[in-house]
Amino acid sequence: MQSDEADAGAAQPQTRRRKDTMAALTLGALGVVFGDIGTSPIYAFREALNQASADGIGAGEILGVLSLALWALILVVTCKYVLFLMRADNNGEGGVLALMALAQRSARKRRTLVLVLGAAGAALFYGDGIITPALSVLSAVEGIKTIPGMDGISRNEIILITSAILAGLF
């Protein structure tokens, strides 16, 4: 009887650790997916308004671009992630390569095409993972120029500060 209670007591901390690990991994995955989705519209918003700034930016342009970005974000997250990708898993695994493995099982004749598309998807994901942090930090450091008295900072200084921040982070 005592050995059963001891086994149950020993299993409880292990279960707790597993739950803590799963919670941390879930939070990390949400940060990767939704962090990237959250920052990309900022760049799109800036570029879209730059195109309209030649004639002057009015409330209509701002609301139009904001509405476009917001609805694109809602539709991408809702349709792509929630309705499709969250349902497709490869024995609990997810991501581009897991989807490729699922597709290869179904597409017997076009396995090479599925492999090439999966590799291209993985390459795009890794490329995005490399370029997004660099662009985010560079944009933030370029914002220093908007501070009164800091408009004289040179491009080389901005690149040096950005490089130092990225080296410190990674």
pLDDT digits (tens, 9 = 90+) for 75-131: 777 777 777 767 777 787 777 888 888 888 888 888 889 899 989 989 988 888 888
The number of beta carbons lying within 10 Å of the beta carbon of residue 124 is 11
Distance of CA 92 to the CA centre of its chain: 20
Pick left, alpha or beta for residue 130 (phi over 0 → left; psi -120 to 50 → alpha; otherwise beta). alpha
Distance CA 125, CA 127 (A): 5
pLDDT tops 80 at residue 133: yes
* CA proximity to 47, closest of 18, 31, 69: 69
CA distances 47 to 42, 51, 53, 62, Å, are 9, 7, 10, 12
Q: What is the CA radius of gyration of the chain?
A: 23
**pTM given for the model:** 0.52
Per-residue pLDDT, 123: 92
